[in-house]
């Protein structure tokens, strides 16, 4: 297959860069102002809020002439101009880009690895993490990150596909190369594939333990990629996709000012619950709670239930051996959560011929369960929306199942080069790319002050796939007994706790056998 190289370059300057350090201050000192349709200023809700500390504005290089300009955007023709746009003040949210640059500079640079490109094969639904399209909100940030990597080691990023391959094609090609001994014709240094599909590669012996990488720190990053003493899946900062974090949108016009204030107040003090959503839905004349939340996947609430509750389906002993280790108390908590969530109806895209987002925009549905990427589609729509984190007593969040992981294929013969590059990839991506999403959204897309602060709160969460998801296609029955069982319990007659208890013994026997 033909080698295709991508030489990263920074095609647009980053306009605003941020930091997510938190201190309690009032709305009055936030530095972000809503500009009403008549040019008048209005303030946010009257609630105590945790906001970033107002600090000295950062250097303005790469921020335009002042680094604090009002950003305006002309809506496309045939759309209504949003009622509110906002000015972003970088003095409130300075950047962590310099921290990433310093950490990158501190890495080993005594070894020259510039003779070869790094061959990184990405699936079509993970490619934006490396090669974002120019219209992607994080194009500038990720292009800049790639340039930083090139400047550090002189290593370009290459792929072996002319067009983006799907995960099944990558799997089939790699499996065939390994089985036929034609590795040289299909050489791959690293794979970047969706988390939910990664276990399939491991089950066929296609992945190498990342402990074989000489400079890679297996103690860093998300330990849910570990099993036993091995790590097969890297979920470091380089694979972070903040645009795929789940969030909740609500129709501010439909729910009214009083309920809008309630939702924002609880979202910002961390007490937002599904019970509050039910209260809001039941207050709307002519609408019942069974259409209060709209989402694209009926099994989604079951999959994210443990994420939001902070409960791990899988626990590991001191040797890293996994097992289903949920206590009766934890099982009861999940059952209660599912019982509450089952009072909502989660629309699927096929119902009525409209997708979930269109239902929210057009049919007077008060809530929409989506991802942060929906901000960029909702901006020019006439619905006056607000943004909320998913309800979680512990302030936790969840992310789409196709969030990528990086794997080390058995075909890799350049462990030193791969190790240095992967370490640098994660270091160069740390924190500030999330900052950039916050900056771009506030600068051009967010409709109201309080959504700025809820977006900040969402992006402050540490969110990554857990062991259950990334090993689901390796251990047969793992998904069925955990998050799929929780999803099936929504509105069903069998409780989640009953299903998982019936599977614990047989599943734990499988989990005891390490890859």
Residues 252-256, mean pLDDT to the nearest whole number: 92
| Residue 49 belongs to some domain of the structure | no
Do 387 and 169 touch, CB atoms closer than 8 A? no
> Could you tell me if 472 and 327 lie in one domain?
yes
In a domain, 73, yes or no: no
Does a structural domain hold residue 52? no
Q: Is residue 345 part of a domain?
A: yes
- What phi and psi, each to the nearest 5 degrees, are found at residue 183? -60, -35
Q: What local confidence, expressed as pLDDT, does residue 75 receive? A: 42
Tell me whether residue 157 is in a domain: yes
Q: Are 349 and 493 within one domain?
A: yes
Q: What is the pLDDT of residues 264-321, one digit of tens each?
A: 999 999 999 999 998 898 888 766 555 557 776 666 777 788 889 988 899 999 999 9
- Note whether 118 and 251 are same-domain residues: no
Assess whether 426 and 330 both reside in one domain.
Answer: no
Portion of the chain with pLDDT greater than 70, in percent: 78
Whether residues 424 and 299 share a domain: the answer is no
**Do 167 and 193 touch, CB atoms closer than 8 A?**
yes
90, 16 Cβ separation under 8 angstroms: yes
CA distance 111 to 119: 19
Please check whether residues 247 and 391 belong to one and the same domain: yes
Could you tell me the residue range of the domain that residue 387 belongs to?
Answer: 242-400+459-511
> Residue 41: which pLDDT band, with cuts at 50, 70 and 90?
very low
DSSP state of 238: G
Residue 29: pLDDT band with limits 50, 70, 90:
very low
**Beta-sheet strands, E only, within 32-142:** 33-35, 41-42, 49-52, 85-87, 118-122
**How confident is the model at residue 419, as a pLDDT?**
95
**pLDDT class of 57 with cuts at 50, 70, 90:** very low
Q: Which residues make Cβ contacts (< 8 Å) with residue 336, sequence separation at least 6?
A: none
Are 370 and 407 contained in the same domain?
no
Written as six digits, the tokens of 447 are: 């409709």
Domain membership flag for residue 48: no
How many structural domains compose the chain?
A: 2
Q: What is the pTM of this model?
A: 0.82
Q: Confidence class of residue 8 from pLDDT cuts 50, 70 and 90?
A: very low
Query: Each residue of 314-346: b (16+ CB within 10 Å) or e?
Result: bebeeeebbbbebeeebbebbbebbebbebbbb
Rounded percentage of the chain residues whose pLDDT exceeds 90: 56
Structure letter (DSSP) for residue 80: P
Both 219 and 124 in one domain: the answer is: yes
CA distance 300 to 346: 9
* 3-state secondary structure (DSSP) of residue 182: coil
Mean pLDDT, all residues of the chain: 80
Whether pLDDT at 92 is above 70: no
Give the C-alpha separation, 351 to 347, whole Å: 7
If asked whether residues 431 and 488 sit together in one domain, one would say no
Residue 229 lies in a domain: yes
Place of tokens 């720190």: 217
* CATH, residue 196: 3.40.190.10
pLDDT tens, 167-200?
999 999 999 999 998 877 889 999 999 999 999 9
């Amino acid at each position: 297959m033909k080698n295709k190289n991508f030489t990263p370059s920074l095609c647009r300057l980053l306009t605003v860069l941020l930091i997510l350090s938190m201190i309690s201050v009032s709305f009055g000192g936030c530095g972000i102002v809503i500009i009403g349709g008549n040019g008048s200023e209005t303030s946010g809700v009257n609630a105590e809020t945790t906001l970033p500390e107002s600090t000295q504005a950062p250097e303005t290089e790469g921020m335009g002439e002042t680094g604090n300009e009002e950003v305006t955007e002309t809506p496309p023709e045939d759309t209504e101009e949003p009622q509110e746009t906002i000015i972003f003040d970088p003095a409130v949210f300075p950047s962590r880009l310099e921290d990433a640059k310093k950490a990158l500079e501190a890495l080993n640079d005594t070894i020259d690895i510039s003779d070869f490109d790094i061959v990184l094969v990405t699936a079509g639904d993970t490619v934006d993490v490396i090669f974002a399209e120019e219209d992607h909100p994080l194009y500038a940030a990720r292009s800049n990150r790639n340039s930083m990597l090139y400047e550090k080691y002189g290593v370009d990023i290459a792929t072996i596909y002319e067009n983006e391959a799907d995960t099944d094609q990558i799997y089939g090609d790699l499996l065939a190369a390994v089985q036929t001994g034609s590795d040289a014709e299909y050489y791959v240094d690293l794979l970047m594939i969706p988390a939910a599909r990664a276990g399939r590669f491991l089950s066929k012996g296609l992945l190498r333990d990342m402990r074989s990488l000489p400079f890679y720190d297996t103690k860093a990053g998300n330990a849910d990629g570990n099993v036993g003493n091995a790590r097969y899946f890297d979920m470091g900062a380089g694979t972070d996709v903040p645009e795929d974090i789940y969030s909740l949108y609500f129709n501010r016009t439909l729910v009214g000012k009083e309920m809008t204030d309630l939702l924002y107040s609880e979202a910002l003090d961390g007490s937002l619950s599904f019970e509050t959503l039910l209260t809001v839905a039941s207050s709307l004349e002519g609408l019942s709670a069974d259409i209060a939340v709209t989402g694209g996947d009926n099994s989604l609430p079951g999959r994210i239930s443990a994420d939001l509750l902070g409960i791990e389906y899988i626990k590991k002993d001191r040797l890293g051996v996994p097992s289903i280790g949920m206590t009766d108390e934890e099982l009861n908590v999940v059952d209660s959560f599912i019982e509450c969530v089952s009072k909502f109806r989660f629309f699927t895209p096929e119902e009525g011929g409209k997708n979930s987002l269109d239902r929210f925009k057009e049919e007077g549905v008060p809530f929409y369960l989506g991802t942060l990427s929906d901000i960029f589609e909702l901006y020019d729509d006439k619905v006056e929306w607000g943004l909320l984190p998913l309800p979680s007593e512990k302030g936790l969040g969840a992310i789409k199942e196709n969030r990528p992981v990086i794997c080390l294929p058995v075909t890799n013969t350049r462990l030193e080069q791969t190790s240095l590059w992967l370490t640098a990839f994660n270091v160069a991506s740390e924190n500030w790319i999330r900052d950039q999403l916050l900056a771009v959204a506030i600068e051009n897309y967010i409709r109201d002050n309080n959504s700025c602060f809820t977006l900040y709160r969402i992006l402050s969460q540490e969110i990554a796939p857990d062991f259950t998801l990334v090993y689901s296609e390796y251990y047969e029955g793992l998904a069925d007994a955990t998050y799929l069982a929780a999803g099936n319990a929504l509105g069903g007659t069998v409780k989640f706790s009953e299903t998982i208890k019936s599977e614990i013994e047989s599943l734990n026997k499988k989990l005891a056998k390490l890859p």
